[in-house]
Amino acid sequence: MADTALVDRHEPLWKRLPVVVQLRRSTGWQRAMLVTGVVICALYLVVAIAAPLIAPYGFGQLQSADGQGFPRTAAPSPEHIWGTTVGGFDVFSRTVYGARTAVLVVIVAVVVSITIGVILGMVSGYLGGWLDRVLVVVADAIYAFPSLLLAIVVSIVVSGGNSSYSGGIIAAAISITVVYVPQYFRVVRAEAVRLKNEAFVESARVVGTNPWRIMTRHVLRNSTRSLPLILTLNASDAILTLAGLGFLGFGIGPTSGAEWGYDLSRALSDVASGIWWTGVFPGVAIVVLVLGVTFIGESLNDISDPRLRARRRLKQLVSRKQAAGTEGAAA
């Protein structure tokens, strides 16, 4: 173990990056799932960043540059490759801009929820006492609520009927944040309770190290190893929660931004008329993005499994013995 750690510290920086480390540890289907998930998420990220360059029209544009209005519920054509909605919006453009909305909301929600959950969990687990009991009760109470219902209530309170793009993103992100903070809080708190009695923490406390320094330098570093797995699982759930908010009418207005859930809700009435393109493409966009994030989460879960690591070491050992046997026979 010490030799392995020594080798790892002397490896190039790019080999120690999070995604690269998991790729090197993965094998077989785990590696295929991880690569597929990373490629899908990277593609959505590129689409979100370059949405104005990819989309032929704006997300709320209803007429072309020459002033001619778009037809309503028009089938896919060279002018509108994915057709138009009942409101006259270009489906392809709204789907592309919807990727930007989804990526922004998920990033903001995950970053804020991790920050709040990790800090509260670390403080609660390390300090204990009445503060720990209060935070645990609050976290359990929040965790007991249905996630979508809680997100709807928080969205109503935060947005106050504001359907602007920035206001809608902030409202949706805060709604999702409130749902996921208790999960990060529980994980970090449990690790902090375990780590505060370890020998290295006791040694730091004996030499008079500041409690905040102990929490940030020793406890935090060793209590966040399982967070990447929880992050990916929550990110996929956050995409569905955002779509649910938009589907129920608590998301972003159609003239303020593009959101896949809202487009799906407007496409429900089109299904009976045989107008399939208004709902298929936003729905497929949601499914593919959730699938990509889920692939990453499942592969990380398999990679963190000690049985997989033991199987990989056994496979390497067998390969080395076979190679040594082949060389001996040849000699």
Q: One-letter amino acid identity for 322?
A: Q
Burial (CB < 10 A; 0-12, 13-18, 19+), residue 209, is middle
- What is the reported pLDDT for 145? 80
According to DSSP, residue 224 is labeled -
Q: Of the ranges 97-106, 111-120, 204-213, which one carries the lowest mean pLDDT score?
A: 204-213
CA angle 110, 291, 225 (to 5 degrees): 45
**Among 116, 182, 178, which Cα is nearest to 150's?**
178
Q: What is the DSSP string of 111-141?
A: HHHHHHHHHHHHHHHHH-HHHHHHHHHHHHH
Query: Given pLDDT bands bounded at 50, 70 and 90, which one contains residue 215?
Result: confident
With 0-12 CB in 10 A as exposed, 13-18 as middle and 19+ as buried, what is 251? buried
pLDDT in tens, 144-160: 888 778 888 887 777 76
**Averaged pLDDT for residues 259-283:** 85
**Res. 5 pLDDT band, cuts 50 70 90:** very low
Q: Binning pLDDT at 50, 70 and 90, where does residue 44 land?
A: very high
Report residue 129 as tokens: 């006492």
More confident: 186 or 273: 186
Spell out the SS3 assignment of 296-321: HHHHHHHHCCHHHHHHHHHHHHHHHH
Region 59-67: mean pLDDT is: 79
305 pLDDT band (50/70/90 cuts)? low
* Percent of all residues in the chain with a pLDDT value above 70, rounded to a whole number: 79
| Burial 212-237, CB ≥16 within 10 A → b, else e | eebbeebbbeebbeebbbbbbbbbbb
Identify the residue with better confidence: 305 or 164. 164
